Amino acid sequence: MKRRDFLRVSALAGGALAVGINFAGCASARQRREIARVAEESGVFRPNAFVTVRPDSKVELLMPKSEMGQGVTTLHTTLLAEELEVKLEDVELSVAPASQEDYGMMITGGSTSTPDMFIPLRVAAATAREMLLAAAAASWGVAVSDLSISEGIISHKSNGKSAPIGTFAADAAKQDVPDAPTLKNREEFKILGKRVTRVDAHDKVTGKAIFGMDVQLPNMLRAYILRPPVLGAPATRVVDAEAKKVPGVVKIFTIDRGVVVVAEKFWQAKMAAAKLEVTWGKGLLDGFDSEQLRKLSADYSGRKPANAPRNDGNVKRALQRDDVQVLDVVYDAPYLSHSPMSPMNCTVQIDKANDRAEVWAPTQMQVITQQLVARIADVPQENVKVNTTYLGGGFGRRGIFDFIVESTTIAKEFDRPVQLIWSREDDTKFCYYRPQSYNRLIGAVDKEGKPVAWSHHNLSQSLIAQKDLVSGILPNWIPEAMNSMLSRASVGLFRSGTVPAVTALEGARDMPYAIPNVRVGYTPVIADVPVLFWRSVGHSFNGFVVESFIDEMAHAAKKDPFEFRRGLLEEHPRQKAVLELVAEKAQWGKKMPDGFGQGIAQHHSFGSHCAQVIEAGLVDGELVVKKVTAVIDCGFALNPDMVKAQIEGGIIFGLSAALFQEITFVNGQVQQANFDTYRSLRMYQSPEIEVHILNTENEPTGVGEPGLPPAAPALANAIFAATGLRMRKMPFKPELKRLMAERDVRGEQKQATASKEAGQ
Amino acid sequence: MKPVKLKINGEVKEVEVPEDVPLLWVIREELGLTGTKFGCGKALCGACTVHLDGKAVRSCSVGVGDVGAREVTTIEGIYEEDNLHPVQQAWIEENVPQCGYCQIGQIMSAVAMLSKTPNPTDEQIDAVMSANLCRCGTYPRIKRAIKRAVELSAEQKGGK
């Protein structure tokens, strides 16, 4: 079957879809013939690359996205069932095979999986529906307008005739493809906008859901890589005599990521790896120290930013006024690992004789996976079959390809399928991290408490211009790294050129508060630490910075933090609306128990608006996060319960980072390893969470990420309300401890001075 | 190598592996039961939770030779095709799973807890379930689902 002859959604490289334009409007005679040919050959009606109606009235849906927990399988099934008018249980969904022609680049990320498909998938379904109705009308000799379709049954309004859609599968394939099929109005929706139970829940509670590591193939080998202490260090000497004696070991060899042990079983590979003696050379990150980078950033932060994409009014002049109070502070956020519950893994089989390869990958990017496997295995791209498994968490981590490159490189050595499994420690130590971010904030409020200036200088690694750490890992479309000649001298760490500031400044450049003089600048930091999108990307630190600093300004102005923000959001009604609603729902300003306080924050990301109030405080000197009240405006909420689930998840992910998480480098070595040293919230630390949806008529927007950015600042602001201590450095647990100890020392000194004075 | 005898999900199996191989990998690779997950290898996350004589253990940190005569139960052994365990039903009703990777371990922990403590308090739930990590942040729903499972079990008993 020639797939390219189908109608398709045209997709842009960023994953954005050019909605519907190529979809149904250009049904050429050739395409019509193609639909008819498929029907003739296989008996199914397949009007486009997404929807297939079978004679048994079941509908197959090919989804060009990955399910990583965000609920895309359920949402896409619902979109199709709604528009085609079939029962949810009659839709059989699977992840589409990699095909750039049919589905574009196939990228799952940016909280776009559902919003992007809201129109195109319904156009696909409506096309099928109209062709099925036309076929029924022709077959019964009646007018289409007298027919209706519901729960997969087409019926005539008066003559009593009815039949399931599958009856017309063959005939539908001979109908004209509608130029612009009519989509249902929102008022006509039966299941969209309502709570639908997840379609993947059954498989996920019975253990039947197949994640990457659950792929079992006949004759499959397992691989484990013993990695260097520092990223990029080559194995200069390998003593493997003892390791080779472990039963089941098939081969031990070196690749540029480490020493590979391949065995019949993973436990054998792991046992053998423990017996290897390896001498490692100098690593790419030798000498790199994240604390040192922080100090260098501090020294540099007073300079002019390399880029200043926002410059309203005159910040310099406003700061020089003698009637203003100036705040000059630093906000710090560390490198972070995604640490999804399933460590990295991938299964590859290369069939050299037939020039074919097949990959079973928990990936957020199918087409690039296909390109990479083709390149490494040296087979034509169209001969690489990509099977997407369920993702045991993604959060951005499975949008990079190191584990795919590694497993393909290893599989080249064998005629058998090979499954590569990482250890948890390697997952933590060899991640592509959320960049460390250093932020200098300078603001000014006047005597009336009005903010007059806001300056934000962000120093962090760019996600766009990163170096290709292992040859072949980065795809063609990420620009060549330009930093080869940079020295490690402190100034050399900071690029003065024009590295795109997009992700580094998202949520900072568009700081929404009405302040007359605003400057937002960025200086890219050059370091060899691999960095990547991490749930909510730049918003993950900029939300913290902006919403904490505006809180500081409110306090400097002696204003209520909620009222202060509200007064500055006239130009942003949706942000103002979520802020007002969260204040109401959380009873902002209510009396809190001793030692507790409320903190508020709002942030706009991925098209959505989210505000949160957090109640937190100290119990026996330990920080306790008691309750989070959240309001989300994500336009039309397609499945309210799943929107809530995503916001809850975003909050807990954000609080884990805010409270506990940091990845630190000492002499190039990551200091964290497993879940004991890289901690996440556990149930007993998890607050009560109440999510309210502010349903609007706007188009659906993201929900996977927007719940995260307000969580850290709302908590920081609550801690300030409770203790008077300002959290400017993540993670908060150690920072709060440090500030409390400092205060104790100051208190003791004061007391000592006081008693000394009293004694005199 | 002497074969190790294992009572698992009501059957007796023999596996030819050294005694110090973690039970997790015997279950997954030797017996092909992939419901039980590998998360950390150090009994820190609970993704690999199974039962030994009804008690929840982290199978990544139990040598297969240490199981002895105890009966191993994995997720595959707690339900029948047309009759899910009340905990599983409750998990579906409350829309608990997101990525789903940790949920098998969560369910196994909850089932073991409820068999000993049929109507746990919030504190008891916290104490037991805090051994199971979830990166998607499904804790509020897990808590609700455990309470729902208590109701479902009561309804089923009442109906019988």
| Closest alpha carbon to B122 in B159, B84, B150 | B150
Contacts of A67 in chain B (CB under 8 A): 99
CATH of the domain at A233: 3.90.1170.50
Same domain, A442 and A318: yes
Name the band, by pLDDT with cuts 50, 70 and 90, for residue A695. confident
Same domain, A387 and A445: no
Most A CBs within 10 A among B17, B40, B82, hence the mutation to make, goes to B40
Same domain, A580 and A500: yes
pLDDT value for A494: 58
Q: In sequence order, what DSSP letters do the residues of A620-682 get, joined into one string? A: TTEEEEEEEEEEEE-SS-SSHHHHHHHHHHHHHHHHHHHHT--B-EETTEES--STTTS----
Q: How many CB atoms lie within 10 A of CB A156?
A: 17
A100 CA to centre of own chain:
22
Superfamily for the B86-159 domain: [2Fe-2S]-binding domain (1.10.150.120)
Say if A642 is an interface residue toward chain B (CB within 8 Å): yes
Overall domain count for chain A: 4
Residue A749 within any structural domain of the chain:
no
Residue A427 within any structural domain of the chain:
no
A677: which residues sit within 8 A by CB, 6+ positions away? Answer: A428, A671
Say if A70 is an interface residue toward chain B (CB within 8 Å): yes
Cβ–Cβ under 8 Å, residues A711 and A654: yes
A683, B132: Cβ pair inside 8 Å? yes
Cβ–Cβ under 8 Å, residues A663 and A285: no
Contacts of A674 in chain B (CB under 8 A): 40-42, 44
Residue of B nearest to A68 (CA): B99
Residue-wise pLDDT tens digits, A103-119: 888 888 888 888 889 99
pLDDT value for A27: 55
* Nearest beta carbon to residue A648 from set B35, B127, B140: B140
Residue-wise pLDDT tens digits, A554-592: 999 999 999 999 999 999 999 999 999 999 999 999 999
Q: How many CB atoms lie within 10 A of CB B11?
A: 10
Same domain, A314 and A282: no
For residue A15, pLDDT over 60 is answered with no
For residue A469, pLDDT over 70 is answered with no
Q: Mean pLDDT across the stretch A747-755?
A: 83
For residue A490, pLDDT over 70 is answered with no
Strands B4-8 and B71-73: parallel
Residue A118 within any structural domain of the chain:
yes
Residue-wise pLDDT tens digits, A79-95: 999 999 999 999 999 99
Question: What is the amino acid identity at position A669?
Answer: Q
Mean pLDDT of chain A: 90
A393, B36: Cβ pair inside 8 Å? no
pLDDT by residue for chain B (160 residues), tens only, comes to 789 999 999 999 999 999 999 999 999 999 999 999 999 999 999 999 999 999 999 999 999 999 999 999 999 999 999 999 999 999 999 999 999 999 999 999 999 999 999 999 999 999 999 999 999 999 999 999 999 999 999 998 876 5
* Phi, psi torsion values for B119, nearest 5 degrees: -135, 75
Share of chain A above pLDDT 70, in %: 91
Residue of B nearest to A71 (CA): B98
pLDDT value for B157: 84
A532: which residues sit within 8 A by CB, 6+ positions away? Answer: A338, A396, A397, A399, A400, A431, A432, A433, A434, A463
Of chain A residues 425-484, which have a CB less than 8 A from chain B?
none
Q: Mean pLDDT across the stretch A121-132?
A: 95
Strands A51-53 and A59-63: antiparallel
B44, A216: Cβ pair inside 8 Å? no
- Helix, strand counts (H, E) of chain B: 5, 5
pLDDT value for A500: 59
* Phi, psi torsion values for A238, nearest 5 degrees: -125, 120
Residue of A nearest to B131 (CA): A682
Query: Distance (Å, rounded) from C-alpha A179 to C-alpha A176?
Result: 9
Nearest-CA distance from A68 to chain B in Å? Answer: 5
pLDDT value for A493: 52
pLDDT value for A487: 29
Contacts of A394 in chain B (CB under 8 A): 99
Domain boundary among A361, A382, A417: A417
Strands A59-63 and A91-95: parallel
Same domain, A44 and A68: yes
pLDDT value for B1: 76
CATH of the domain at A171: 3.30.365.10
Residue A759 within any structural domain of the chain:
no
Same domain, A387 and A439: no
Same domain, A520 and A389: no
CATH for the stretch B4-77: 3.10.20.30
A68, B99: Cβ pair inside 8 Å? yes
Residue length of chain B: 160
Q: In sequence order, what DSSP letters do the residues of A19-88 get, joined into one string? A: -STTTSTT--HHHHHHHHHHHHHHS-B--SSSEEE-TTS-EEEEESS--SSS-HHHHHHHHHHHHHT--G
**b/e map A654-684, b = 16+ CB within 10 Å:** bbbbbbbbbbebeebbbebbbbeebbbbbbe
Q: How far is CA B125 from CA A69, A579, B111, B145, in A?
A: 24, 33, 11, 11
CA dihedral angle for residue A288, residue A291, residue A294, residue A300, rounded to 10 degrees: -70
**Mean pLDDT lowest for which of A438-452, A527-541, A708-722?**
A527-541
Q: Where are the domains of chain B?
A: 4-77, 86-159
Residue A606 within any structural domain of the chain:
yes
Same domain, A165 and A49: yes
Same domain, A197 and A225: no
Cβ–Cβ under 8 Å, residues A350 and A366: no
Cβ–Cβ under 8 Å, residues B18 and B1: yes
Say if A651 is an interface residue toward chain B (CB within 8 Å): yes
Residue-wise pLDDT tens digits, A20-30: 223 434 456 77
A266, B25: Cβ pair inside 8 Å? yes
Asked if this assembly's ipTM is beyond 0.85, the reply is yes
A246: which residues sit within 8 A by CB, 6+ positions away? Answer: A263, A268, A271, A272, A275
Q: How far is CA A703 from CA A216, A358, A610, A648, in A?
A: 34, 33, 9, 10
Name the band, by pLDDT with cuts 50, 70 and 90, for residue A759. low
* Phi, psi torsion values for B52, nearest 5 degrees: -115, 115
Q: Mean pLDDT across the stretch A505-521?
A: 96
Residue A675 within any structural domain of the chain:
yes
Same domain, A326 and A403: no
Q: What angle do CA A152, A90, A635 make, to 5 degrees?
A: 85
Q: Mean pLDDT across the stretch A601-619?
A: 97
Does residue A246 sit in helix, strand or coil? coil
Residue-wise pLDDT tens digits, A365-378: 999 899 999 999 99
* Nearest beta carbon to residue A205 from set B21, B74, B91: B91
Query: Distance (Å, rounded) from C-alpha A73 to C-alpha A68?
Result: 9
Same domain, A134 and A151: yes
Residue in the block written with tokens 């099934």: A77
Same domain, A14 and A163: yes
pLDDT value for A483: 32
Look up the domain containing A91 and give its range. 3-206
Q: Mean pLDDT across the stretch A210-214?
A: 98
Strands B11-15 and B4-8: antiparallel
pLDDT value for A748: 83
Question: What is the amino acid identity at position A699?
Answer: E
